[in-house]
Amino acid sequence: MSYPQPIDLVVRGGTVVNADWQGAADVLIGGGKVLGVVEPGAYRSAQPPGTTEIDASGRLVLPGGVDPHCHVGFTSGDFTSLDDYLQATTAAVFGGTTTIVDFAIPRPGENPADVAAAQRAKAEQGLCDSALHACVVEWDDTVPEQLRSLTADGIVTVKMFTTYRGETMADEKTILNVMTTLRDLGGMVVIHCEADHIIADTQERGEAAGTIGACHHADTRPELAENASVAEILAIAESVAAPVYFVHQSTPEAVDLVARARGRGVRAFTETVAHHLTLDDTAYAGPHPERFVCCPPLRDAGTVAGLRSRVLMGQVATIGSDHCCYDTAQKESVSHDVRAMPNGLPGVETRMPVVFSELVVKGGLPAGRFVEVMCANPARLNGLYPRKGVIAPGSDADLAVWDPAVTRTVRSANLHMATDYTPYEGMQITGWPETVVVGGRLVVAAGRLTAPEPLGRHLRSGPLSRSLVC
């Protein structure tokens, strides 16, 4: 068998797990690409002497994770999260994620295309590749042309918000206009849904009652606000036959609304995030409630169980991190009033291990389905598949050799994110990446960074197919 490139790395003896196939195989790598996925040992005749080998026996060989929702150096209100591309992607690869999708979110008065161009230029500071979601807040005559040039330049997804009034919230007509425009350009709105008027009212009542601090966060953003907003946005998408992707859905009712819409032929997709599947609102009664302030908030244990069941039922397309790297001091400085707080939790490094441990090892999610929601579907829904999200000839040689049996206790001190805490402190985890390959380079081995040079690329996403299904 001849290959288009010389083989320079072989991952030998493992069980390759793709979303749709798994089995014992050796992975042949050359020129930064996967050259072949072959019968164990079959490559030896084609292998030049001196080829580097990684022994993956007893391990799973997974496509590198694709985190569809990761904020890097994100400014919101008075706060900027603490990482840059090198720090965020270093943490990502230690956790088995080899592609992140970041956001270019305009501040009031900024232009979405300019903000995206500035953010895109940072990709080369990354240890792994990245793509971007743009963001539109207000509609004006320039937006259609900005969306045309963004999609032509490979940024095909646009984040919108139904909350954060005065910052990033868009009105319904703007959402409808952006959905319609992107529909015709092969793009898609990715949307944060919480009905802002309900939250504003709940928060006003919380202020009057003296219950507006971080320990009351869950009460200030009720589930029904999320469910109502999802229903409205689905109606808009259905009315204009546009695809729509719901970020960080945190309630089973919201996921069910999307699943029912899919049954009617709407191209609608659910993303959940690791912390909504693995943590609950008892965290707000603990010693550091502010560390868990994110939007939507952590929900009660019954809701978490319902959300997990939706993953097992196959109704969830992707699981992201919604990584936001604030530290305790930033969060504590305004924890008396959740309306002023920096929202979001650090999680790009822990996304894959925590979800593997909680949903595969403890929850019975098949490993192939784990790969589907963590790698393949995030790549598909961001126009990056099959370059990313699968181990197959021609795909980028990004993969994680995963020890499915190793047990660790999560400690912030052992992680690489640019913050002083993890919401999973003390959690027992089974399964962790042992070796991580990025673009054919051995980047993490035996818990150490072996290739620190930032060679990240900004990925141009392909247009999303009109028949997109996950």
Kindly list the residues in this chain that would bind Zn ion in the complex (CB under 5 A).
192, 288, 322, 332
Q: Which CB atom, from 106 or from 186, has the smaller least distance to ligand URP?
A: 106
Q: Which of 64, 65, 320, 344 binds ligand URP (CB under 6 A)?
A: 344
Residue 218 found at the interface with ligand URP (CB under 6 A): no
Q: 26 with 72: CB under 8 angstroms?
A: no
Using CB positions, name the residue nearest to Zn ion. 192
Buried b / exposed e across 24-62, counting CB within 10 Å, b at 16+?
A: ebbbbbbebbbbbbbeeeebeebbeeebeebebeebbbb
Number of residues this chain uses to bind ligand URP (CB under 6 A): 9
- To ligand URP, the closest distance from the beta carbon of 142 in angstroms equals 25
Q: 369 with 377: CB under 8 angstroms?
A: no
Binding partner selected for residue 343 from Zn ion, ligand URP, none, CB under the kind-specific 5 to 8 Å limit: ligand URP
Q: Which CB atom, from 33 or from 351, has the smaller least distance to ligand URP?
A: 351
DSSP 105: -
- Tell me the C-alpha distance between 405 and 427, whole Å: 15
66 strand-pairing partners = 99
Q: 112 with 135: CB under 8 angstroms?
A: yes
Q: Residue 223's Cα: distance from chain center in Å? A: 22
Residue 134: in which H helix or E strand, if any?
strand 129-135
Binding partner selected for residue 133 from Zn ion, ligand URP, none, CB under the kind-specific 5 to 8 Å limit: none
Q: Which CB atom, from 43 or from 164, has the smaller least distance to ligand URP?
A: 164
Q: Which CB atom, from 59 or from 192, has the smaller least distance to ligand URP?
A: 192
- Tell me the C-alpha distance between 388 and 380, whole Å: 8
Q: Which of 133, 192, 262, 388 binds ligand URP (CB under 6 A)?
A: 192
Residue 295 found at the interface with ligand URP (CB under 6 A): yes
Residue 461 found at the interface with ligand URP (CB under 6 A): no
Binding partner selected for residue 148 from ligand URP, Zn ion, none, CB under the kind-specific 5 to 8 Å limit: none
42-101 positions binding ligand URP, by CB under 6 A: 71
Q: 391 with 332: CB under 8 angstroms?
A: no
Q: Provide the token pair at 346.
A: 């650090």
Residue 343 found at the interface with ligand URP (CB under 6 A): yes
Q: 81 with 324: CB under 8 angstroms?
A: yes
Q: Which of 299, 317, 310, 276 lies closest to 423 in space, CA to CA?
A: 276
- Tell me the C-alpha distance between 376 and 378, whole Å: 6
Residue 270 found at the interface with ligand URP (CB under 6 A): no
Q: Which of 67, 281, 322, 372 binds ligand URP (CB under 6 A)?
A: 322
Residue numbers of the site for ligand URP (CB under 6 A)? 71, 192, 248, 294-295, 322, 324, 343-344
